[in-house]
Amino acid sequence: MQSSIAPNCMVVTPHHLATQSALAILREGGTAIEAMVSAAATVAVVYPHMNSIGGDSFWLIVPPTGDPIVIEGRGAAGSLATLDFFKDYKNIPFRGPKAANTVAGTVGAWEEALQYVSECGYQRMSLSKLLADAIKYAQDGFPVTKSHYESLKNIQAEGNVPTDFGRVFIPNGKIPKVGETFCQKQLASTLQHLVENGLNSFYKGELAKLIAEDMESLGMPITKSDLTNYAPVRKVPLRLLHSHGEVFNIPLPQGLVSLTILGILDKLGIDGQHEGQFVHAAVEATLQSFKMRDNYIKEHMKTDPNLLLSSQNLFKMAKEVNLDQFSGAHPCKGPGDTIWMGIMDNKGFSVSFIQSIYFQFGSNMVLPRTGILWHNRGVAFNLEKDHALCIEPGKKPYHTLNPAAARLRDGRVLVYGTRGGDGQPQTQCAIFHRYVVQGKDAQQAVTEPRWLYGRISGPPETTLKLEGRFNAETINYLKERGHDIVMLPDYSEHTGQAGLLVRHPDGNMEGAFDVRSNGSAAGF
């Protein structure tokens, strides 16, 4: 399987319809940023088990010149989300109105990204064009994917399916079959309202009033004032000085993890020629990075993350890596149902983007008059008073989302990423290292067998999961070093749905998609 290469633009998404939406905007002269808004709207409709306009998103934009920027579309806990609100609970429930406790930030982040387009001197394309495909697929329908179908089976098996969720996603009590046309007509009307009244109407105005009233009726702790007070935030990305160039990620704990893993492997001089050694070293670097992250959180993230990414600190962490033996278990934070997408245009913009509802179908709460499925990112909070992650009104939740990018010394620009909770840094490591350090083809770097340390779902666990295509020599090497191995299918969604785009110095752009998804990489 070979990468796709094109001279003018390149797109990779986990659903081919979202890829086509982005290409349509690029063909009309739109920027990669505008194309991403279109793809984000479409994928929110056609991949509803993984993301929604009722979720969060993060942007990492690499401009033609100058420093990359981050746009954080992360909502805060509602003003009613007090400890007293959860007084009858030991933990925040994974599903239901109490799980839907934070504002959805993604639509506001779309608007902020489009504002950046204007600031760069480009005339913005109309929302009617950017959201046209999403509205059409919501109104007229789209074919159900296998992962959509399987996710609904999982939800139904959990039991206690909320009424409005069942009405929208399991009509007449029957899960739509793979390939069956599925519509979300209420959501189509909501998207049309955004076109006519602007993206900020999600937070202010008549639509916001409807959303707030529905949330109140469902028992969610978010109010209209919480929506009104929401604003996306621009930030400076974290930067790792790697021997092959600069690697960027978002300034939240998980972005720090992703960069630290790459930094440790770089200091160790792991070249990846021995697959077993590479995987073992990557797992050990992951353990070191997770420990650092958890300490960083306990300290209320007061340490300057740039100090943690310093060469001195990375050398110190590298010395703690045991290349001969598994050093011991460290629990991971678990799953994440998310989408990553990348777009490059002929104007020099490269975009790495993640949109998420956290768990499959988020909180399962569908707002009855808008058809919006709300996320459950607030499950990342806890109910331990004085803990760094204790929920409180206005506080933002811990996030695993971390879109990545790089500028290499040889002139190449990369954007890459994946879905998958604590699997994200591990899959990012596999892709970056195989492509940049090992020199493999972009598509090969994305397709080759991957690993996942930690749990897929349920209680924390510390097994090392390997896709079935790893050879016996690698598997035995890892077992001999003390890893508790669990074998996955040859191609497993549990190792993420990833992608990689490369802008070469000659101007050509290369794209690699993940066969574990329903996606594609395409350009023109």
Residues in the chain, overall count: 524
Q: Is residue 327 part of a domain?
A: yes
Query: Percent helix, strand, coil in the chain (nearest 5)?
Result: 40, 20, 40
Pairwise CA distance, residues 265 & 277, whole Å: 11
The per-residue pLDDT for range 78-126, each reduced to its tens digit, is 999 999 999 999 999 999 999 999 999 999 999 999 999 999 999 999 9
CATH number of the domain to which 293 belongs: 3.60.20.40
Asked whether residue 329 carries a pLDDT value surpassing 90, the answer given is no
Q: In this structure, is residue 8 part of a structural domain?
A: no
Query: Which pairs count as long-range contacts for 439-442, CB under 8 Å and 24+ apart, including other chains?
Result: 441/2, 441/3, 441/512, 442/3, 442/500, 442/502, 442/510, 442/511, 442/512
How confident is the model over 344-383, as pLDDT tens digits? 999 999 999 999 999 999 999 999 999 999 999 999 999 9
To the nearest whole number, what is the mean pLDDT of the chain?
95
For residue 186, tell me if it sits in a domain.
no
In a domain, 190, yes or no: no
What is the number of structural domains in the chain? 1
106 lies in some domain: no
Residue 213: predicted pLDDT: 98
Any domain includes 33: no
In a domain, 491, yes or no: yes
| Cβ-Cβ contacts under 8 Å for 30 (sequence gap 6 or more) | 38, 125, 130, 345
10/493 Cα distance (integer angstroms): 23
3-state secondary structure 185-224: HHHHHHHHHHHHHCHHHHCCCHHHHHHHHHHHHHCCCCCH
Is residue 320 a contact partner of residue 13, using CB atoms and an 8 Å limit? Answer: no
* Residue ranges making up the domain that contains 508: 236-336+400-523
pTM of the model: 0.96
The string of pLDDT tens digits covering residues 287-325 is 999 998 888 776 666 778 888 999 999 999 999 999 999
Reply yes or no on whether 338 is catalytic: yes
Classify residue 348 as exposed, middle or buried by CB count within 10 Å of its CB (0-12, 13-18, 19+): middle
Place of tokens 């409180």: 392
Q: Do residues 254 and 293 make contact, with C-beta atoms less than 8 angstroms apart?
A: yes
Please check whether residue 343 is in contact with residue 520, taking contact to mean a CB–CB distance below 8 angstroms. no
Strand partners, 353: 59, 341
Q: Give the three-class secondary structure for 408.
A: strand
Asked if residue 517 is part of any domain, the answer here is: yes
pLDDT of residue 466: 98
Active-site residue identified among 13, 102, 260, 338: 338
